[in-house]
Amino acid sequence: MKTITEKILDGIKLTLETGERINLDLSEAAGLTGSGNGQGGRTYFDDAFAALRYANPFRMGARQVKVAGSSAMFVAKTGNAANQTNPWGYAINANSGTPNTNTTIWQLPTRVITAQLPIRTAVMSDVNYLNETIVEDLMLEFAAIEAASMASNNDQAGSTTTATGATDGLRGLNYYAGTSGSAAAYGSSGTAITNGLHTLRTVGHSSASVDLETLMDMAGALPPQYWNLPGTAWHMHPSYITALRKYAHNGTTGPYSLVETGELGEGPAVNIMGFPVIPNPYLDATGTAGNFPVYLANWPQFMTIADVEEMSIQAMEETAPGFITLYAEKRMVSTVRNPFAGVRLIET
C-alpha cells in the first residue's frame, strides 16, 4: 500500500507526462486494524513515550571504568611500608619487622543483562517515535535492573535473590558481611567467586524510629580522611528521607532537622553534615529489622562499576510472522573496592 507522499509524487509525475488534471485519493488505512474509528483514514498517533524510570543512582558517585574480557581483577595494597617502630632517619630495615607490605586481590566475572522485545511491524509503521522511545526506555530499564542488583543481590546463592540475578547477578552491597558495630575489613584474597567478600563498617539503629543522631554516629564512623573528598555522599531510601523530615527530637514541636538545626535546607534532601543526600529507592525501605536503608561513603573510593565496552542492540525481522524482535545485551561488573571508605546503617 502506497503512502500519501508516494501517491502525491506519482500524481505529479503523471500530470507532467499527460498534462491532464489528476484526482488523488489520499485516504489511507492504518496498519493497525480498527484505526480510523470505522470512518476510514488514518488515526493520528501522538509521539510515543514511556514513563520515566529511576536510573541507577550508584553511578552518580561510584568510580566507573571500561573493561574488556570476561572478568575483572581488583588489587588493594595492605600493610605499612614504613617502619612503624621508628620511621625516622636513614637506616635501612628491608624485609624485617614492619615494613609489612602486602596485597589482597579478588576477581569477579562480568555479568550480562539481556532483553528481547517482539513488536508488531504494523505498530512500528503507525506509531510515531516508537523506535526511539523503546531504545531510550530500554536503557533506563537496564539501569534500574543493574541498580537493584548492585543493592540487594546475593551472588553466592542461586535461589534467594533470583529477581536481581542470584549467581548470575552482581554482588549486592547488602550482602557484604557486617552487623551492628562491625569494623571494616578486606575479604579473603584469591580468584574464586567467594573471595573479595569484604566486611563493611555497620552502625545499628532501632527499626521502630528514625533519628538524626544515628546519622551523626554514621558520620563519626566514616574515617575523617574521606570527609572532604569529592564524591562523599549519603544514599538513602526515599521513605527514610521523608521520615527524617518528620522527625521531632525528644518530642519537641516540629521537625528536629528543620526547626532546630536547619540541617537539610530546602528541597527533598540537600545536606546532612555537609554531605549531599541522594535518594536511592533500590536500598531497603525502613521499618524492618535487618534492612540497610542508608549508606554514607566516598563513592569513588568505595564502589567501582566496570562496564564492558561493547553493548549490542539488534533487530531481527520475521522471527514470528508480522513481528520484529529487538535483542539487547550489556555486560558489567561491580564491587566494593575499598571497604574502609563507606559506612552503612542496619535496622535492629
Q: What gap in Å lies between CA 283 and CA 301, rounded to an integer? A: 19
pLDDT tens for each residue of 16-44:
677 677 776 655 555 555 544 555 556 66
pLDDT tens for each residue of 141-164:
999 999 999 999 999 998 888 889
Q: Which CATH architecture has domain 57-76+105-347?
A: Alpha-Beta Complex (3.90)
CB of 334 closer than 8 Å to CB of 303: yes
CB of 137 closer than 8 Å to CB of 315: no
Domain ranges (residues) in the chain: 1-44, 57-76+105-347
Confidence of residue 258 (pLDDT cuts 50, 70, 90): very low
pLDDT tens for each residue of 265-313:
555 556 888 899 999 999 999 888 899 999 999 999 999 999 998 888 8
Lowest-pLDDT choice from 10-14, 59-63, 95-99, 218-222: 95-99
Query: In this predicted structure, what is the pLDDT of residue 25?
Result: 65
Q: Which three cell numbers stand for residue 118?
A: 517482539
- DSSP helix/strand/coil, 167: helix
Confidence of residue 179 (pLDDT cuts 50, 70, 90): very high
Higher confidence at residue 226 or residue 249? 226
Confidence of residue 194 (pLDDT cuts 50, 70, 90): very high
CB of 272 closer than 8 Å to CB of 215: yes
CB of 236 closer than 8 Å to CB of 228: no
Q: Which three cell numbers stand for residue 179?
A: 552487623
Confidence of residue 83 (pLDDT cuts 50, 70, 90): confident
HSE of 27, CA atoms in CB hemisphere, 13 A: 7
pTM for this structure?
0.81
